[in-house]
Structure 1
Amino acid sequence: HVPASAIPAVTEVLQSRWIGQGPRVTQFENEFEEKFTGGGKALAVGSGTDALHLAYILAGLKEGDEVITPVFTCTATTIPFLYMGVTFRFADVDPLTLNINVNHVRQLVNEKTKAIVCVHYGGLPCDMAELQAIADEHNIPIVEDAAHALGATYRGKPIGSLSDFTMFSFQAIKHLTTGDGGMLVVNDRSLVPKAERIRWFGIDRSNKQKGTWENDIWEVGYKYQMTDIGAAMGLAALHEFDQTLAHRQG
């Protein structure tokens, strides 16, 4: 859904000549945090796939590790593991909900398992209490693929406020779209500086010397940021989100 208010918002950004990552992205992150995260940090990125890859890096996954992920999902959930040399083990899904089968997760988890990925299929939240119990028992993080689940709640709490990492997608067909884009919510704010560096080539932009081309590059990074054009669309959609969600649910 692209609200009519997105047109003047995007026009204003184009006329400002600041069309890359800038103040609109920051505003979008801040307003998104306030509405959906329950205290986590929102990081706007170029796609939901970018957000998942970033989450997997921040979770400390490395070559040779194993993760558990549902067999029924978009390929974007698992493609980043191929970038990273991470082995993924498919858990079956519940035939009634199409969400990950918690009992099968219990069977699959082992000493090599370093994370659990769950997908809230069709916007219906997974059994997060049971998944968190497994994660706590094995001291591993949960990454939520919430591409379908913006605005959903679990036991009264918004999806985006529950786990270590939550990804949202703003791809063209989603009920909040930035044309293409995504958001990663990170509950541990000590990881935010690393996330922001990886999002922009590994460069520490907070310490960048203005007016020079000199940069401190701390680690391998990517080009995963959102533009102000996309953020303007996102803000317009965010301001009308409750009405949009009610319309879809009606």
Structure 2
Amino acid sequence: MIPLFKVALAPDAADRVREVIGTAVLGHGPRVEEFEDALRARVGTPHLATVNNGTSGLHLALRLATSPPGSNPPGDGDRGEVLTTALTFEATNWAILANGFRVRWVDVDPGTLNMDLDDLAKKISPATRAIMVVHWAGHPVDVERLARVLDDAEAAHGFRPPVIEDCAQAWGTTLRGTPLGNHGNYCVFSFHATKHLACGAGGMLVTPDEESLRRALRLRFFGIDRRADRVNGDYDVPEWGYNFYLGEIAAAIGLANLETVADRVALHRRNAAHFDEHLAGVPGLEPTARPEGEESSFWLYPVKVERRADFIRKLADAGIQASAVVRRNDTHTCLPPDAAEALPNLDAVHDRVVHVPVGWWLSEEDRAHVVATIRSGW
């Protein structure tokens, strides 16, 4: 079976892990610091902190974006709404609920499958506390255009909602030549085992400024400044925090994989370009849009097909894994009934979206087999 996901490990990852085990330092230590320095150089911003997983990063970003320094926000209750997309993995939106906010759904752009910025502009209101955008499959939301939407919202409502970019699938993605993480928003990356840059489990939060970074560094460790004198008990916690810090083993794997991740992203893009060329014009299959200046990392390769179940079955019979990957979040029964929202664009595409293997592990023979299987019909 040609898999949809596969774990990448650099050749020296095991040796680096053995070195960590030999030191007996497994929590936050020198390799985490080294990994963060390497990430800052690679992403192009000094304002980042690692966390134990991407979901923790989303929690932390929401806390930083919506609660002033020194505050201890309530764990539940009605704190306003966060505008978000229903076409994402549940981690995105459950972090919103866990922080005591209501979700308000924004429709999708049927071409890119990302948030529809026109619909977003209509839904920003005095109740809006933040906006959560997802770079689905690695394809970037146009955050430069989003900034102009926020300019208009600020003029209309007198405030500017903070933006949190869920970049879990978007390591290496660029918008008009600028890597994600450099557009002035909170950005959360995932280093889950199957991502381009894997730590086994881990993530990264990019903050818009130095003050929010200092706060993030405290909040990821229970609200404690790690430089504080904990030996003599001479420290204060002005706002409670979380157990969100990254460990040394994950950092060692991340350091090894960071040396090879650019090659993996390039292979994903090469495979996607091959499919763009050779799947063009297939009856019953519609590719996603490729707006100029938006360069996806292609963690996934989504297409829209007729008779999705038949398509998935045809590929499975040919030894190719394909999947919808996620279910629209707005139909889960854990949500309150009043969270429902009319989303006509999502209605039109949801049951047609499917993803086929595009990863670094595909050989030329694998690619040819995927193309031939799809082109033969289903």
TM-score greater than 0.5 by the shorter chain: yes
**Worse overlay, 16-25 or 133-142:** 133-142
Which residue pairs with 2:63 in the alignment? Answer: 57
Equivalent residue for 1:166? 187
Partner of 2:98: 83
- Give the letter for the 1:3 counterpart: A
Structure 2: which 5+ residue stretches go unaligned?
1-7, 68-72, 155-159, 271-378
Q: Match for residue 44 of structure 1? A: 50
- What do the CA deviations read for 1:145-166 (whole angstroms, capped 9, x no partner)? 0011000100110011113210
1:199 equivalenced with 2:220 (yes/no): yes
Q: Tell whether the 8 Å contact from 1:40 to 1:187 is kept in structure 2 after alignment.
A: no
After TM superposition, list the pairs within 5 Å mapping 1:118-129 onto structure 2: 118-129=133-144
CA contact (8 A) 2:84 2:105 kept: yes
Secondary structure in 2 matching 1:207: coil
TM-score normalised per structure 2: 0.63
Task: Note the alpha carbon deviations across 1:39-59, whole angstroms, 9 max, x for none.
Answer: 241111011000011000000
| Counterpart pick for 2:151 among 113, 130, 136 | 136
Distance 1:33 1:244, change over 3 A: same
1:9 corresponds in structure 2 to 16
Other structure's SS at 1:89 match: strand
Match of 1:234 in 2: 254
1:152 is matched with which residue? 173
Q: Determine helix, strand or coil for the equivalent of 1:232.
A: helix
Aligned pairs, number: 248
Match of 1:20 in 2: 27
- Match of 1:236, as an amino acid? A
In the alignment, structure 1 segments of 5+ residues that lack a partner are none
Q: Does 194-203 or 131-140 show the bigger shift?
A: 131-140
**Deviation per residue, 1:44-103 (Å, 9 max, x gap):** 101100001100000025642211111111111111222221111110111111100001
Matched, 1:34 2:34: no
Match of 1:26, as an amino acid? E
Following superposition, the deviation at residue 215 of structure 1 comes to 4.0
Alignment check: 8 A CA contact 2:131 2:162 kept: yes
1:13-62 Cα deviation digits (max 9, x unpaired): 110111111111111111111111x3241111011000011000000256
Aligned to 2:330: none
Given candidates 205, 215, 218, the residue that maps to 1:184 is 205
Partners of 2:84 and 2:26 lie apart in 1 by: 36
Moved more, 228-237 or 73-82: 73-82
Give the aligned partner of residue 101 of structure 1.
116
Question: Would the aligned equivalents of 1:39 and 1:187 in 2 still touch at CA under 8 Å?
Answer: no
Q: Distance in 2 between matches of 1:86 and 1:30?
A: 34
Once the two structures are overlaid, the 10-residue window that deviates more, 240-249 or 150-159, is 240-249
- The C-alpha deviation readout for 1:188-244, integer Å capped at 9, x for no partner, is 1111221111101111222234x4455422211110000011000001011111112
TM normalised by structure 1 equals 0.94
Partner of 2:196: 175
Secondary structure at 1:143 match in 2: strand
Distance 1:214 1:2 in 2: 42
Q: Which moved more, 1:174-183 or 1:125-134?
A: 125-134
Per-residue deviation at 1:129? 1.7
Specify the SS of the correspondent of 1:174. coil
Q: Is this contact kept in 2: 1:45–1:226, CA < 8 A? A: yes
Per the TM alignment, residue 142 of structure 1 is displaced from its structure 2 partner at its CA by 1.1
Residue 295 of structure 2 aligns with which residue?
none
Relative distance call for 1:177 and 1:11 in structure 2 (3 A) is same
